[in-house]
C-alpha cells in the first residue's frame, strides 16, 4: 500500500461540532494506524460564509480533544493551483467558460466555468458501503468555478486531494452524491482515484439528523459544560464503531490500535447525552484523587461564590469524596451548588424547629437524644473525628437502642438543615467536631425555646 495520507477538511462556516470532531478522529485513527500523514485543510472556498473565527475554533477544539496533524493548509492560499487546474481543463477542451446570468445577482452577466461532462456511468468502491454506481448524464455540464479565480468546492477538493496525494477520503455519507462529480473532475485532470469511505452520520435521540436546533452540537459547549476531552473523544469514537475487543472505554492510542475502517457501522448511531454522561463519569471515577481535587476545587469555589457561604479550603478538600461520587460532569457541581446542596458544609444552616424532631416524636425527646449525642461526640478525640465510621461507632448503639430515626433524624437535620442530605456521620466528619457540636447545641436551644 502507498504511504497513507488522509485529511481533515472542515469548512470554517460554523463552530466545530461533534460531526467535525468525528471526521477528524476517524481520519486520525486510520492515519495513525497506518503510520500515515495527516493534513488539516481549512476549506474556506465559500468566501461569504467562511470566517477565521470558526477556523480558530475548529483548530482549538480538535487540539483540546487531543487530535493533531502534520501539515496545515488553507484553501484560499492554494488558489494558484486551482487556477492552473482550471486553465489546464479549459486548454484541453475538458471545461469551458460560459457567459450566463448570475445566480446571485439576477440581470448581471457572469462568466462561469463548466466541466464538459462525458456523461458516463461512474462506479466506485466504498470501504464501508461496497460498490456504488451513478449515472452522471443527468448532472449535465456542471459548474466548477464561479470564475477562473473563484473555484467551487468540487474543483478545489479534487485539486487539493490530487496535489497533496491523499490516499484515503474518509468522510460523512452526505458526500456520497458529490463523489461522482468529483471523480469526473479527477479523471479529467488525470489524478489517481483515492480510496473512499463514507460513514453514516450521528443521529439525535429522535433518530433525525443531529443539528444545532436539536441541542448542543458545538464541541466548545461540551467543553464549557465540563466534559473531559478524553471522555468526549472516546464516546465520539465508539459511536458507530465496534472495536474488535468489544471494549468501550478506550484511550486514543487504544482506539488507534483497534481501528479498522471495515468495522464502522453502516447505519447511523444515536448521539445519546445520557450515554455521554455515563462515559464522562467513568473517566471521572478513574481519575486519581489528586487530579480530581485540583479540578473540582476550582469549580466548586467558583460555583459557591454566589451562594454567600464561608469558603473553607479545608472543608472543600474533605468534601471531595462526596463530590466525586455525585458528579458525572463538572457542570453538575454548579447545579448541585446552585441548589444549595453544599451550603451547609460551609455555613451553619437554619434548621426549621418544627422539622427537627422525627415525625410523631415530641421536641423534648429529640432534645434529649441530641444532648446524649453531644456527650458522646464530646468525648471522641479530635483526631478520630475525621473518619465517619468512628463517629458512627460511638452513636450507633445508642441510636439502635432508642430507635434509629428518633436519634439520627434530628442529628442529621441539625447538621444540614435539609430534609435530604448524606448521613450525619459523613457530614460531621467533613465539618469537624467544633462545628458539629455547635450546630447540635443550637438545635437543642431551638427545641428548648419551643417548649417554653
Ligand atoms: N469541506 C467539506 C465539509 O466540511 C468536506 C469535504 C470532503 O470531505 O471532501 O463538509
pLDDT at 216: 59
| Angstrom distance (rounded) from CA 283 to CA 123 | 44
pLDDT at 71: 98
Q: Which tens digit of pLDDT belongs to each residue from 301-324?
A: 999 998 989 999 999 999 999 999
Name the β-bridge partners of 199: 172
Alpha helices in 287-385 (DSSP H): 289-304, 313-326, 331-338, 343-346, 363-379
Residue 23 alpha carbon, nearest atom of ligand 1: 8
Q: Grid coordinates standing for 256?
A: 488507534
pLDDT at 107: 87
Q: Which tens digit of pLDDT belongs to each residue from 421-440?
A: 999 999 999 999 999 999 99
User: How many whole angstroms from 9 Cα to the centroid of ligand 1?
Assistant: 5
Question: Does residue 194 line the site of ligand 1, with CB under 6 A?
Answer: no
Q: What is the mean pLDDT of residues 199-218?
A: 76
How would you classify the pairing of strands 143-147 and 150-151?
antiparallel
Residue closest to 254 by CA, chosen among 424, 33, 441, 75: 33
Q: Under a CB-based contact definition with an 8 Å cutoff, are residues 233 and 66 in contact?
A: yes
Name the β-bridge partners of 41: 73
**Largest CA-CA distance found in the chain, in angstroms, rounded:** 106
Q: Which residue has the higher pLDDT, 46 or 413?
A: 413
Query: Is residue 342 scored above 90 in pLDDT?
Result: yes
Please state, in angstroms and as integers, the Cα–Cα distance from residue 52 to each residue in 65, 153, 221, 348, following that order. Answer: 20, 18, 19, 51
Whether the CA torsion 84, 179, 212, 243 is positive or negative: it is negative
Question: Does residue 75 line the site of ligand 1, with CB under 6 A?
Answer: no
User: How many whole angstroms from 178 Cα to the centroid of ligand 1?
Assistant: 10
Q: Which tens digit of pLDDT belongs to each residue from 113-169?
A: 999 999 999 999 999 999 999 999 999 999 999 999 999 999 999 999 999 999 999
Query: Is residue 267 scored above 60 in pLDDT?
Result: yes
Residue 174 alpha carbon, nearest atom of ligand 1: 10
Query: Is residue 195 scored above 90 in pLDDT?
Result: yes
- Catalytic status, residue 308: no
Closest protein CA for atom 8 of ligand 1? 171
Closest protein CA for atom 9 of ligand 1? 157
| Angstrom distance (rounded) from CA 333 to CA 319 | 12
Test site for ligand 1: of 11, 30, 194, most ligand atoms within 8 A of the Cβ:
11
DSSP letter for each residue of 62-86: HHHHT---SEEEEGGGGHHHHHHHH
Q: What is the mean pLDDT of the chain?
A: 94
| Angstrom distance (rounded) from CA 134 to CA 132 | 7
pLDDT at 206: 75
The pLDDT confidence band at residue 419, using thresholds 50, 70 and 90, is: very high
Q: Which tens digit of pLDDT belongs to each residue from 58-88?
A: 999 999 999 999 999 999 999 999 999 999 9
The pLDDT confidence band at residue 105, using thresholds 50, 70 and 90, is: confident
Query: Is residue 36 scored above 80 in pLDDT?
Result: yes
| Angstrom distance (rounded) from CA 134 to CA 124 | 9
Q: What is the mean pLDDT of residues 332-357?
A: 94
Whether the CA torsion 24, 27, 33, 38 is positive or negative: it is negative
Q: In what order do the strands lie in the sheet with 95-101?
A: 95-101, 109-115, 143-147, 150-151
CA angle, 313 as apex, 347 and 325 as ends, to 5°?
A: 85
Cα 17 to the center of its chain, rounded Å: 10
- DSSP-derived letter for residue 390 is H
Q: Which tens digit of pLDDT belongs to each residue from 236-266?
A: 999 999 999 999 999 999 999 999 999 999 9
Q: Grid coordinates standing for 158?
A: 479534487
CA angle, 243 as apex, 240 and 247 as ends, to 5°?
A: 105
User: How many whole angstroms from 161 Cα to the centroid of ligand 1?
Assistant: 11
Least confident of 61-75, 183-197, 213-227, 307-321: 213-227
pLDDT at 308: 86
Residue closest to 254 by CA, chosen among 233, 239, 226, 229: 233
The pLDDT confidence band at residue 215, using thresholds 50, 70 and 90, is: low
| Angstrom distance (rounded) from CA 312 to CA 319 | 11
| Angstrom distance (rounded) from CA 155 to CA 367 | 83
pLDDT at 190: 98
Q: Grid coordinates standing for 286?
A: 478513574
**What backbone torsions phi and psi does residue 111 show, to the nearest 5 degrees?**
-110, 105
Torsion of CA 112, 117, 121, 124, to 10 degrees: -50
- As separate numbers, helices (DSSP H) first and strands (DSSP E) second, the chain gives 18, 11
pLDDT at 310: 93
Question: Does residue 157 line the site of ligand 1, with CB under 6 A?
Answer: yes
**Which member of 212, 275, 359, 420 is catalytic?**
212
Test site for ligand 1: of 43, 156, 158, most ligand atoms within 8 A of the Cβ:
43
Q: Under a CB-based contact definition with an 8 Å cutoff, are residues 87 and 99 in contact?
A: no
CA angle, 26 as apex, 21 and 27 as ends, to 5°?
A: 100
- The C-alpha R_g of the chain, in whole angstroms, comes to 32
Question: Does residue 171 line the site of ligand 1, with CB under 6 A?
Answer: yes
Query: Is residue 214 scored above 60 in pLDDT?
Result: no
User: How many whole angstroms from 6 Cα to the centroid of ligand 1?
Assistant: 12
Q: What is the mean pLDDT of residues 283-290?
A: 94
The pLDDT confidence band at residue 212, using thresholds 50, 70 and 90, is: low
- DSSP-derived letter for residue 174 is G
| Angstrom distance (rounded) from CA 370 to CA 446 | 12
List of residues 6+ apart from 235 with CB closer than 8 A: 275, 276, 279, 280
| Angstrom distance (rounded) from CA 107 to CA 12 | 31
Query: Is residue 89 scored above 90 in pLDDT?
Result: yes
User: How many whole angstroms from 200 Cα to the centroid of ligand 1?
Assistant: 14
Query: Is residue 208 scored above 80 in pLDDT?
Result: no
* Local structure of 52: helix, strand or coil: helix
Amino acid at each position: 500500500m502507498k504511504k497513507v495520507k488522509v485529511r481533515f477538511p472542515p469548512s470554517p462556516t460554523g463552530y466545530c461540532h461533534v460531526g467535525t470532531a468525528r471526521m477528524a478522529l476517524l481520519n486520525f485513527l486510520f492515519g495513525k494506524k497506518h503510520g500515515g500523514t495527516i493534513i488539516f485543510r481549512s476549506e474556506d472556498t465559500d468566501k461569504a460564509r467562511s470566517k477565521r473565527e470558526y477556523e480558530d475554533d475548529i483548530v482549538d477544539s480538535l487540539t483540546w480533544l487531543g487530535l493533531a496533524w502534520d501539515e496545515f493548509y488553507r484553501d484560499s492560499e492554494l488558489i494558484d493551483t486551482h487556477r492552473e487546474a482550471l486553465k489546464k481543463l479549459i486548454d484541453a477542451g475538458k471545461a469551458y467558460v460560459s457567459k450566463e446570468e448570475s445566480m446571485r445577482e439576477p440581470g448581471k452577466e457572469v462568466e462561469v466555468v463548466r466541466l464538459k461532462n462525458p456523461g458516463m456511468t461512474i462506479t466506485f468502491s466504498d470501504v464501508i458501503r461496497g460498490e456504488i454506481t451513478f449515472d452522471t448524464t443527468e448532472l449535465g455540464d456542471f459548474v466548477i468555478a464561479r470564475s477562473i479565480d473563484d473555484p467551487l468546492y468540487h474543483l478545489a477538493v479534487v485539486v487539493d486531494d490530487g496535489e497533496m496525494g491523499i490516499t484515503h477520503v474518509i468522510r460523512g455519507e452526505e458526500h456520497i452524491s458529490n463523489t461522482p462529480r468529483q471523480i469526473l473532475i479527477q479523471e479529467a485532470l488525470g489524478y489517481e482515484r483515492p480510496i473512499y469511505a463514507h460513514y453514516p452520520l450521528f443521529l439525535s435521540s429522535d433518530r433525525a439528523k443531529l443539528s444545532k436546533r436539536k441541542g448542543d452540537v458545538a464541541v466548545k459547549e461540551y467543553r464549557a459544560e465540563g466534559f473531559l476531552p478524553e471522555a468526549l473523544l472516546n464516546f465520539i469514537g465508539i459511536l458507530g464503531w465496534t472495536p474488535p475487543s468489544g471494549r468501550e472505554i478506550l484511550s486514543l492510542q487504544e482506539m488507534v490500535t483497534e481501528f479498522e475502517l471495515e468495522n464502522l457501522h453502516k447505519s447511523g448511531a444515536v448521539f445519546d447525552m445520557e450515554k455521554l454522561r455515563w462515559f464522562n463519569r467513568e473517566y471521572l471515577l478513574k481519575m486519581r484523587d489528586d487530579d480530581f481535587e485540583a479540578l473540582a476545587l476550582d469549580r466548586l469555589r467558583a460555583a459557591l461564590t454566589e451562594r454567600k457561604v464561608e469558603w473553607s479550603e479545608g472543608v472543600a478538600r474533605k468534601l471531595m469524596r462526596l463530590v466525586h461520587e455525585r458528579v458525572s460532569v463538572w457542570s453538575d457541581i454548579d447545579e448541585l451548588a446552585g441548589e444549595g446542596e453544599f451550603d451547609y458544609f460551609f455555613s451553619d444552616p437554619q434548621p426549621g424547629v418544627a422539622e427537627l424532631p422525627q415525625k410523631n416524636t415530641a421536641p423534648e425527646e429529640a432534645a434529649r437524644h441530641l444532648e446524649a449525642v453531644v456527650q458522646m461526640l464530646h468525648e471522641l478525640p479530635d483526631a478520630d473525628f475525621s473518619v465517619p465510621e468512628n463517629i458512627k461507632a460511638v452513636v450507633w448503639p445508642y441510636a439502635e437502642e432508642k430507635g434509629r430515626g428518633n436519634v439520627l433524624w434530628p442529628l442529621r437535620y441539625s447538621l444540614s438543615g435539609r430534609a435530604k442530605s448524606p448521613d450525619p456521620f459523613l457530614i460531621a466528619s467533613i465539618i469537624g467536631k467544633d462545628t458539629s457540636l455547635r450546630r447540635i447545641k443550637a438545635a437543642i436551644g431551638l427545641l428548648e425555646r419551643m417548649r417554653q
